Structure 1
């Protein structure tokens, strides 16, 4: 079968552009600095992930509705980056975030859609409608909007491979042929199992998994992978707020001593999983969720 191809020359990298599924392994090593975008990067898991991306050599766009917190995270990074204020519930704000990232850093290789909020604890019949809308707006619609604009950008990007030699001696069927981008969405253990008093939050995190799996199958052949992480209890400011407001029976169930590992996760432990899912280590992994719950 014959294919037309175009040799594209970019700074520090030569890329043979062909349909993704027949990409040539003659691509040169990608020597430029890769770019990661993290929403909710001003604190908690988002901050830890931005820091870890930078440790791995990525330039990082730190996005948060709280701009001072995003700038504080940026100051912790070992590589150049950008702090952006974003309201993930607004399409214009999300689009502006992606545009700023590309204008300043040229491309988005990885995105971690981590921005999220908790719901006020109450049983389903006692929950308020505006609370449901508020939580779904950030946690579900926010992820959908981020996917919408991140994927649109990634579709315009040439596929790259960071280390062609790593895959050169592998059977042809499993050779890594480059990627336009990798996205990880923040779901939760509450997106897999019910958690009393948190119906809006659970609904939003179940929705994130649906969005993840749908986008994954839609763009797999375009070289865009989409996965999710489902952390259990993590030692973050959000967890502190949830515990403080929870009724006694729910708070008792959140005692770290009751968990198999006897503690909450550190944000850095979730960050490691996110960075792995974004890396070239798992090019066949898409549409999956990784539960990080310490045995729960």
Structure 2
């Protein structure tokens, strides 16, 4: 999803920072972009690494207008009584703490930036009450459909994605008057390497829960569909939208 979103942002004219713990994968993504970009290797569980990522972005491009925080891990499957504590900590560290750290340093940078309107003419003739006066930045976090309901045998992942929604709404309220919007997407099954790994861990009788038949539309999602949602949430098309989560689940 991160790769597809970077590609879409580049198609829209944004310069991109591709940040990943897998530097080689990030370089491959950079090669797909139509605009200038840089690669930053980052471990989102470490504050110093996340801070360095933001510093590198600002050093190269001067500001951060948009961010998509989507680093994640699926975790192993087990009921709560059988789930190792260290596995819970690992999943929460990447999926929840990682989002919190990214927000911490992204927002700190955005607070230093002047608000901008990416398309001033679009809003010039609107009444004052409706006019979009510009934003310092817009952030989207990756939650999940698992952040909206139970996910048996994967309590850590479920907990982490519920946590992302709580962090998202809190950040949105804290910084709304500063011109920083924070929202989240909640995808259902999407064609990614994570989904492939998750399927391999499922018992055969449960694999249908991640397949096309589970969704009323009759298929799973493409990463590009999530990218479109992220770019829309970051755009001038929805300046009143903050603290929201967008469920993208094919009817589930």
TM-score by length of 1: 0.84
Residue of structure 1 aligned with 2:14, choices 52, 55, 58:
58
Q: Which position in structure 2 is the counterpart of 1:247?
A: 203
Q: Which position in structure 2 is the counterpart of 1:265?
A: 221
**SS state of the match for residue 151, structure 1?**
helix
Distance 1:118 1:76 in 2: 26
Residue of structure 2 aligned with 1:209, choices 162, 165, 178:
165
Q: Whose helix fraction is larger, Structure 1's or Structure 2's? A: 2
**SS state of the match for residue 133, structure 2?**
coil
Report the alpha carbon displacement of residue 254 of structure 1 after superposing the two structures with TM.
2.4
From the CA coordinates, give the structure whose radius of gyration is larger. Answer: 1
Distance 2:12 2:171 in 1: 26
Report the alpha carbon displacement of residue 166 of structure 1 after superposing the two structures with TM.
0.8
1:144 correspondence with 2:95: no
**SS state of the match for residue 172, structure 1?**
coil
Unaligned runs of 5+ in 1: 1-44
Report the alpha carbon displacement of residue 265 of structure 1 after superposing the two structures with TM.
0.1
Q: Which position in structure 1 is the counterpart of 2:45?
A: 89
Distance 2:89 2:58 in 1: 31
1:256 correspondence with 2:212: yes
Distance 1:254 1:80 in 2: 36
Q: Which position in structure 1 is the counterpart of 2:150?
A: 194
Task: State whether residues 208 and 214 of structure 2, in contact with CA within 8 Å, keep that contact through their aligned partners in structure 1.
Answer: no
Q: Which position in structure 1 is the counterpart of 2:248?
A: 292
Report the alpha carbon displacement of residue 165 of structure 1 after superposing the two structures with TM.
1.5
Report the alpha carbon displacement of residue 47 of structure 1 after superposing the two structures with TM.
0.4
Q: Which position in structure 2 is the counterpart of 1:181?
A: 137
Task: State whether residues 211 and 220 of structure 2, in contact with CA within 8 Å, keep that contact through their aligned partners in structure 1.
Answer: no
- Structure 1 runs, 4 residues or longer, greater than 4 Å off: none
Residue of structure 1 aligned with 2:31, choices 75, 79, 99:
75
Q: After superposition, where does 1:16-27 map in structure 2 within 5 Å?
A: none
